[in-house]
Amino acid sequence: MPPALDCWYLTGPTAAGKTRVGLELARLLQAEIISLDSMAVYRGMDIGTAKPAADQQQVVPHHLIDILDPDQEFSVSNYVQAAHQKIAEIRRAGREVLFVGGTPMYLKAMLRGIYQGPPADWQFRRAVEEEARRVGIEALHERLALVDPLSAAKLHQHDIRRIIRALEVYKITGTPISHQQLQFDEGVPGDRCRVFVLGWPRAVLHRRIDARVEWMFAEGLVDEVRGLLDRFGVLGRTASQAVGYREVIAHLQGNLSREEAVRRVRVRTHQFARRQETWFRSLSECRRIDQDAEIEAAEIARRVLDLGQHDAAGRPPGCDGA
């Protein structure tokens, strides 16, 4: 599928305020929102993913939220296919398309296309996961560096899913995944697209994250996870590794105290936000919109709209999705 460069995108690290600004921007654009969040697809995972509330989803139609049970898997390829279907539906209704969310791999796939690669070898993946439990994730990262140094240099040593995928592709094809993905590394300049990243000073973002984590536990994250486990027994590979959910599962299994679970969620969310920001900086399509506590969401949305409309006249044919 071709890159979806004619849509609007509002992204940013976790706790950046994407939902509030996205609602305001959708109102200005007369747009419908497609979620750009890999965990919002799961039903019942509401508090830990900070999904838009039901009343917010009534104000502006949202798509690709609550479409799967958390014991199911949903790949980047699945997302891209579903997103393109929604784009077509929204356009037929005469509405604009606005993506809102913070999953970098989804964003890159929509902007540049996706490397499909060979199908998953689940036996190999299970074996490597067991190896990681025995020798540690760092050892897997070192193993990857021997066969695909480019991928190893790009991936955080704790990004186990992508490390395993890189090892899997090399095993199946004999060629490093980094070599096969080169065609997707080139993007267009930011002023040729409408991709905006909400930013905060690092210290402010950390305070916002900490406040969100406290809110999640106060709102009943532990009960939410307990209910999911009661219903499904175990969550799928993706859902069970989500920030917040993995730690609460460990708490409910008696492996972590509540206080330690909260602390780990806070630390892991800080780490996740840093990885998100690294991704966004690596994408030439992205333009940062700095925020301030004194500036209302509506004003940020108007700023994004002005920038996007100002650049629209100069956008070349390659950026209109054709």
The pLDDT profile of the chain, 322 residues, written as one tens digit per residue, is 788 999 999 999 999 999 999 999 999 999 999 999 999 999 999 999 999 999 999 999 999 999 999 999 998 889 999 999 999 999 999 999 999 999 999 999 999 988 778 888 889 999 999 999 999 989 989 999 999 999 899 888 888 888 999 999 999 999 888 877 665 566 677 778 999 999 999 999 999 999 999 999 999 999 999 999 999 999 998 999 999 999 999 999 999 999 999 999 999 999 999 999 999 999 999 999 999 888 999 999 999 999 999 865 545 433 444 3
Query: What contacts 142, CB < 8 A, 6 or more positions away?
Result: 152
CA–CA gap between residue 245 and residue 268 (Å, rounded): 11
pLDDT, residue 182, reads 60
pLDDT, residue 118, reads 86
- Asked if residues 12 and 199 have their Cβ atoms less than 8 Å apart, the reply is yes
Q: Which fold has domain 122-180?
A: Histone, subunit A (1.10.20)
As annotated, the residues of the chain forming the CATH 3.40.50.300 domain(s) are 8-115+194-319
Query: What contacts 135, CB < 8 A, 6 or more positions away?
Result: none
CA–CA gap between residue 170 and residue 168 (Å, rounded): 5
Radius of gyration, alpha carbons of the chain: 20
Closest CA to 75 of 30, 31, 38: 38
Phi, psi values for residue 10, rounded to 5°:
-125, 115
Alpha helices in the chain, H assignment, sequence order: 18-29, 54-59, 76-92, 104-112, 122-135, 137-147, 149-154, 160-173, 177-180, 202-219, 221-232, 237-240, 245-252, 258-282, 297-312
CA–CA gap between residue 184 and residue 188 (Å, rounded): 11
- Asked if residues 120 and 168 have their Cβ atoms less than 8 Å apart, the reply is yes
pLDDT, residue 317, reads 39
As annotated, the residues of the chain forming the CATH 1.10.20.140 domain(s) are 122-180
Q: What is the DSSP string of 131-193?
A: HHHHH-HHHHHHHHHHH-HHHHHHS-TT-HHHHHHHHHHHHHHSS-HHHHTGGGS----GGGS
CA–CA gap between residue 103 and residue 206 (Å, rounded): 18
Query: What contacts 120, CB < 8 A, 6 or more positions away?
Result: 168
- Give 8-115+194-319's CATH code, choosing from 2.40.30.110, 3.40.50.300, 3.40.190.10, 3.30.200.20: 3.40.50.300
- Asked if residues 36 and 200 have their Cβ atoms less than 8 Å apart, the reply is no
Tokens 């994407």 found at = 18
